[in-house]
Amino acid sequence: MDNEELVNTDGAIITATANLGDTRSPRELVSGYTYQVEEVTKPQKYDAAHHSRMLILAKAVYFCVFAADASWEPFAAYVLSRRGMNNAVIGGLLTAMTVCNAVSGQLLTAFADRYSCHRNVALTSFTLFVIFTCSLVFSNHFAYTAGVGILAQCAWGPVLPMTDNVTVQLVRDAKREDYSRQRLFAAIAWALFCFGDGWLMDLYGYYMLFYVLALMGFVALILLSFYPFTLYGSIRHDTGHESKPSWSELMHLVVHNVLMMPFLSIILCTGYLFSTIDGYLALWIIDLGGNSSLVGAMYAVASIVEIPLFFWSDRIYHRIGMKWVLAITSVAYLIRVVSYSLLQNPYYVLLIEPIHALTIALFWGPCVTYMNDVLLHEKPHLKATGQGSFFAAFYSGRAVGYSVAGWLSDVGGMRFMFRSTLVAVGSLMILVINFWRLERFAQGCGSVPKGETLKGTKDEKKSLLDSHIPEQ
């Protein structure tokens, strides 16, 4: 074989290969398109101004996307109860929605990875989510609400994992800030819009939620259209070649990576606890004598406390390691569940909700980073698919939580439901202890960089972290 590298007018490198016995030069082969020609994009120089603009865009995207989501998700159970559904029916419907969310997220992220169509999938999915959710305003009929709600969650499934995947790649290439500092703007949006939506519901009814969602969804869609899905969602960007991911490769990674399955099990369990609290806390506050404004203020307080933790969560994670992050999360869930089960005055919930920051803000950013840079560091072409698995595990846990919590609350009441949730908290603690043991084993075998849990100076920790991040 005879190879020669040529440079075209766009500055790209052209590699032409001629078979033995062919007298034509590689240059002639290129001009004639007789043989396969592989074009490999030259590595581009770091553009500080471009990355600064992209980081600003990332913050705006998270703010607007979560502003739209905050106008539906926190109040979903309350809206469904106002439409005459009991807790068991609400739990079943929310379960169906969440299962569809998890399945569609996994399938569509894998589809986007395989066919390099990240932008089209993300924009189409978010557009359909806004349309379907807003169309719930047209009818109170159960069948219509269930069908349209399920379609909306199917559309919502791939949006966040694909956005997170792009953001993680973006902040890494920008060589400053981190994922959590972009994600904290989601917490800001959640705080503002949960409080504002609760206030609007008391004044004008819950139908105002859909109008706010439509407005913020439209703005978010415009911003998402400029987000660099094409560059940072591309398989070629990570590997330099078109390596097509497959389900068998993903399952092989899940089965043979000693930390992948325990980590996803922890994510599933936290999803269960999250749905138990997030799905039914508003109904519990209403039962105790609260109103929509208090519910909105409750979510706002939780989100405000999230902001500083989102800002510092990645730094905390690099200092103390993933195992301590998970341990703090499990203890925080224990405190929250016990506190809700003892609650008598609904306004005391404002004192409990700041703990929510330890269960989400300190937990979410490090988990996304850990999944991307540690568990998937040897499979860069599976990163969007891997983030889809992360979200699928979380939403699968949420699906089970909605159903079980709804049934338990109808059987024994809300207080009984929260007390029963202590079983799930105990399971989470056992899983975290097992993760501690397996991570130590993996570090001893060299499967996981030891820098994840070592203490040291800022420069030392940065060098240890960079040692396991694949070259771009």
Question: How is 399-410 classified by DSSP, letter by letter?
Answer: HHHHHHHHHHHH
18 & 110 share domain: no
Average pLDDT, the chain: 79
**Stretch among 8-17, 100-109, 156-165, 299-308 having the lowest mean pLDDT:** 8-17
The answer on 120 and 12 residing in a single domain is: no
Domain contains 189 = yes
pLDDT of amino acid 227: 92
Percent of the chain with pLDDT over 70: 74
393 pLDDT higher than 60: yes
What pLDDT was estimated at residue 258? Answer: 74
CB-CB contact of 325 with 361 (8 Å): no
472: in domain: no
> How far lies 93's CA from each of 105, 285, 291, 312, in Å?
18, 21, 24, 36
* CB-based burial label for 37 (10 Å; 0-12, 13-18, 19+): middle
Q: What angle do CA 198, 200, 203 make, to 5 degrees?
A: 115
186 CA to centre of own chain:
11
Per-residue model confidence (pLDDT) at position 292:
82
| Residue 471 falls inside a structural domain | no
Question: Residue 50 and residue 80: Cα distance in Å, rounded?
Answer: 45
User: Is 304 contained in some domain?
Assistant: yes
146 confidence band (pLDDT: 50, 70, 90): very high
Q: In the predicted model, is pLDDT for residue 249 greater than 50?
A: yes
Residue 148 has pLDDT above 90, yes or no: yes
pLDDT at 429 over 50: yes
User: Is the predicted pLDDT of residue 325 greater than 70, yes or no?
Assistant: yes
Asked if the structure places residue 435 within a domain, the reply is: yes
> Residue 352: inside a domain, yes or no?
yes
Same domain, 261 and 371: yes
Average pLDDT over residues 51-69: 91
Q: Report pLDDT for 239.
A: 43
Whether residues 292 and 413 share a domain: the answer is: yes
Confidence at residue 267, expressed as pLDDT on a 0 to 100 scale: 92
pLDDT band (50, 70, 90) for residue 16: very low
Long-range contacts of 83-88 (CB under 8 A, 24+ apart): 83/140, 83/142, 83/145, 84/140, 85/142, 86/410, 87/280, 87/283, 87/406, 87/407, 87/409, 87/410, 88/406, 88/407, 88/410
Is residue 73 included in any domain, yes or no? yes
Q: Are 282 and 275 in contact (CB under 8 A)?
A: no
pLDDT digits (tens, 9 = 90+) for 176-199: 667 888 888 998 998 899 889 888
- Picking from 190, 468, 184, the residue whose alpha carbon sits closest to that of residue 314 is 184
pLDDT number for residue 387: 72
Q: What is the pLDDT, as a whole number, of residue 448?
A: 56
436: CATH: 1.20.1250.20
Q: Tell me which of 52-56, 103-107, 244-248 is least confident.
A: 244-248
pLDDT band for position 388 (cuts 50, 70, 90):
confident
Whether residue 59 is predicted with pLDDT greater than 70 in this model: the reply is yes
Q: Would you say how long the chain is, in residues?
A: 472
Q: Measured between alpha carbons, how far is 15 from 322 in angstroms, rounded to an integer?
A: 43
Q: Residue 238: which pLDDT band, with cuts at 50, 70 and 90?
A: very low
Statement to judge: residues 16 and 116 lie in one domain: no
60 and 36 in a common domain: no
133 and 10 in a common domain? no
Residue 18 has pLDDT above 70, yes or no: no
Read off the pTM. Answer: 0.71
Are 6 and 55 in a shared domain? no
- The pLDDT assigned to 352 comes to 93
User: Of 273-287, 339-353, 374-388, 417-431, which range is least confident?
Assistant: 374-388
Is residue 134 included in any domain, yes or no? yes
Say whether both 29 and 168 belong to one domain. Answer: no
Question: What pLDDT does 154 receive?
Answer: 94
Domain of residue 13 covers: 2-40
Mean pLDDT confidence for 243-272 = 75
Domain count, the chain: 2
